């Protein structure tokens, strides 16, 4: 099955009008490879639980290559969620800033997508249009078997990951509010999503 590399979650308002964005929250990963899909999984949970500023866009980025550059050029803020490799226990949430990504990625792969991310950030820098604020919310993965669901220890980190995203938005003066009636999360690839997955942290 061939999947689109970039899958939009919300790019227009309810009237169909295109939105001017200054921030992007992107879920990175292949949803058909177990914990590699935790980025889109967290993104779907965030979308289902919270209403964000209109200039904050949520996008399922899939497995981006250099085509990510046109998504990030000109942004004020970029927040990415991705599975990472680390000696820490599965489910550990680690935060990386732009300097961390550019320093670590050439020598040590944080994940299969980090080389593309670092290259895109460098290209955006050369264009003079790199995001001012960059945060990678990395979740240490456990299993990447084809067709496997997100592992339980990684699922247990979802609430903590969302808290870190909301803290970043608040620090950057973006507003959000809890939905009084959470939507069903759009996790079409997961057959084992628990009924309590729409809880607010």
| pLDDT band, very low/low/confident/very high, at 35 (cuts 50, 70, 90) | very high
Interacting residues of 103 by C-beta distance below 8 A, sequence separation 6+: none
pTM across the whole model = 0.81
Chain-centre distance for alpha carbon 155: 14
Kindly tell me if the per-residue pLDDT of 116 is higher than 80.
no
Nearest to 124 by CA among 197, 68, 55, 63: 68
- What is residue 19's predicted lDDT score, i.e. its pLDDT? 53
| pLDDT band, very low/low/confident/very high, at 77 (cuts 50, 70, 90) | very high
Q: Which of 98-107, 160-169, 174-183 has the lowest mean pLDDT?
A: 98-107
Kindly tell me if the per-residue pLDDT of 1 is higher than 60.
no
| CB distance 148 to 163 below 8 Å | no
Instruction: Please identify, in words, the CATH class of the domain defined by 7-175.
Output: alpha beta
What is the rounded distance in angstroms from the CA atom of residue 144 to the CA atom of residue 162? 22
């Amino acid at each position: 099955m061939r999947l689109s590399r970039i899958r939009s979650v919300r790019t227009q308002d309810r009237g169909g009008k295109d939105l001017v964005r200054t921030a992007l929250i992107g879920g990175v990963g292949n949803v058909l490879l177990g914990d590699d899909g935790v980025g889109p999984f967290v993104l779907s949970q965030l979308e289902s639980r919270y209403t964000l500023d209109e200039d904050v866009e949520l996008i399922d980025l899939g497995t981006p290559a250099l085509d990510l550059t046109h998504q990030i050029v000109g942004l004020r803020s970029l927040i990415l969620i991705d599975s990472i490799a680390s000696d820490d226990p599965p489910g550990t949430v680690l935060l990386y800033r732009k300097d961390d990504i550019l320093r670590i990625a050439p020598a040590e792969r944080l994940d299969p997508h980090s080389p593309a991310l670092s290259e895109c950030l460098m290209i955006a820098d050369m264009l003079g249009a790199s995001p001012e604020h960059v945060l990678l919310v990395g979740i240490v993965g456990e299993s990447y078997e084809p067709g496997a669901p997100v592992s339980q220890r990684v699922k247990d980190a979802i609430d903590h990951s969302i808290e870190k995203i909301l803290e970043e938005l608040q620090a950057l003066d973006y507003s959000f509010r809890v939905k009084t009636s959470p939507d069903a999360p759009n996790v079409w690839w997961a057959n084992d999503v628990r009924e309590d997955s729409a809880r607010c942290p």
